Amino acid sequence: MSQPGTSVLPAGRQGRIARVRAAMEESGIEAMLLSLGADLPWLTGYQAMPLERLTVLVVPADADAVLLVPELEAPRVDPDPAVFEVRPWAEGEDPVAAAARIVGSRRRLAVSDRMWSTFLLALQEALPSREWGTSSRVTGPLRAVKDREEVEALAAASAGADRVAAALLGGEVALVGRSERQVSEDLGRRLIAEGHDRVDFAIVGSGPNSASPHHEPGTRVIGPGEAVVCDFGGTMAGYCSDITRTVFTGEPSPEMVELYALLQEAQAAAVAAATVGTPCEEVDRVARERIAAGGYGAAFIHRTGHGIGMEGHEDPYIVAGNAQPLVAGHAFSVEPGIYLAGRYGARIEDIVVATDAGPRPLNLASHDLTVVG
Ligand code: ZN
Ligand code: ZN
Ligand code: ZN
């Protein structure tokens, strides 16, 4: 079976674990226990199966990392002795007790944000009177800064999504007369055909549904003269894509034209603002200010963007209140939207990387107002 998380490029791993140890030192965390979620594949290239058998990488700040993995899963691990030791556990063994033995007397512990509560509760029982936190405090800021290989992996995934967007904009994806669900499935099939290992989502919101940002594509049949928001993405070689284009099935009304032009301008202004050193919240403010100036401030009902990498949503968040300055290697979406409840909406989304040479959009499919059949 294909495991999307297993193909992480190994080049950066040793550097990553060194940075993790330094950050653990700084925050006083003595051991991390990494299970489900992206921290584990980011460090080891191995993605734990989301199953009842525990897989956990124990990373003591002051000793070698050990990957406890069910014996039957062990063949899927690509060993990297410079980074971690593999210790398979057999049916009948107690992996929680084994993890507790590796943790030993260390007191300040951090676990994967997405570790199942069944595992965490068992670990807490086996390791009484410890301090527990989430690993993202350590790994979030580190994972947010992509190395060169990661940027190229994101660029490849974005290019695949771009080719699907180009087909949509070029009228190759039939809309009128098909249900949202049929179009969603079509977009998903095209993502796979363009090299994705997995489709993570393919939102298709038509007519009044285009005003619902995370609309679940349903049986509604797309008609002529409607706005259709298509927001789709997946995973390619462990890294995510995420793109939104809004198309119109027939000549849009003057109001739609004006609204779309405003959105296009706000999105471009926010991308241009995403320079190294600019606070994340400033990028959000730029988009919001433009949309408010056009009279649609109350209709922009979500943050401007989110970080992206091995997870579809991760640090840094492009949102009011996040004063963190952008650094070279931050990868994130810029996706303002305008939604008129019960009527229609529009969104434009690109993935952008902050670089010393300026913002680098990874999605290049056209933003122009596009009328398709
Ligand atoms: Zn979204
Ligand atoms: Zn999206
Ligand atoms: Zn997004």
Rounded distance, CA 356 to CA 280, Å?
A: 16
Q: Which ligand is the nearest neighbour of the Cα of 331? A: 3
The architecture of the domain spanning 145-361 is: Alpha-Beta Complex (3.90)
The structure tokens listed for 318 are 């492009």
Q: Which ligand is the nearest neighbour of the Cα of 312? A: 3
Between the CA of 213 and the centroid of ligand 1 the distance, in Å, is 7
Between the CA of 305 and the centroid of ligand 3 the distance, in Å, is 6
Between the CA of 332 and the centroid of ligand 1 the distance, in Å, is 12
Bridge pairing between strands 350-355 and 331-334: antiparallel
Look at residue 12 in the predicted model and tell me its pLDDT. 77
* Positions of CATH 3.40.350.10 in the chain: 13-143
Between the CA of 191 and the centroid of ligand 2 the distance, in Å, is 14
Between the CA of 211 and the centroid of ligand 1 the distance, in Å, is 13
Between the CA of 346 and the centroid of ligand 3 the distance, in Å, is 14
3-state class percentages of the chain: helix first, strand second, coil last, to nearest 5 = 35, 25, 40
DSSP 238-253: TEE--EEEEEESSPPP
Rounded distance, CA 292 to CA 307, Å?
A: 24
Look at residue 130 in the predicted model and tell me its pLDDT. 98
End-to-end CA distance of the chain: 38
Look at residue 186 in the predicted model and tell me its pLDDT. 98
pLDDT, averaged per 10 consecutive residues of the chain (373 residues), comes to 40 85 96 96 92 96 96 94 95 97 98 96 98 96 95 98 98 98 98 98 98 95 97 98 98 96 98 98 98 98 98 97 98 98 97 98 98 87
Look at residue 14 in the predicted model and tell me its pLDDT. 83
* Positions of CATH 3.90.230.10 in the chain: 145-361
**What CATH fold (topology level) applies to the domain 13-143?**
Creatine Amidinohydrolase; Chain A, domain 1 (3.40.350)
Between the CA of 63 and the centroid of ligand 1 the distance, in Å, is 40
Q: 232 near 365, Cβ under 8 Å?
A: no
Look at residue 11 in the predicted model and tell me its pLDDT. 56
Between the CA of 175 and the centroid of ligand 2 the distance, in Å, is 19
Dihedral sign, CA of 291, 294, 297, 298? negative
Q: Which ligand is the nearest neighbour of the Cα of 202? A: 2
Between the CA of 313 and the centroid of ligand 2 the distance, in Å, is 10
Between the CA of 2 and the centroid of ligand 1 the distance, in Å, is 26
Between the CA of 35 and the centroid of ligand 2 the distance, in Å, is 26
Q: Which ligand is the nearest neighbour of the Cα of 215? A: 1
Look at residue 49 in the predicted model and tell me its pLDDT. 86
Q: 21 near 13, Cβ under 8 Å?
A: no
Between the CA of 251 and the centroid of ligand 1 the distance, in Å, is 27
Place of tokens 């995510």: 240
Q: Which ligand is the nearest neighbour of the Cα of 306? A: 3
Q: Which ligand is the nearest neighbour of the Cα of 201? A: 2
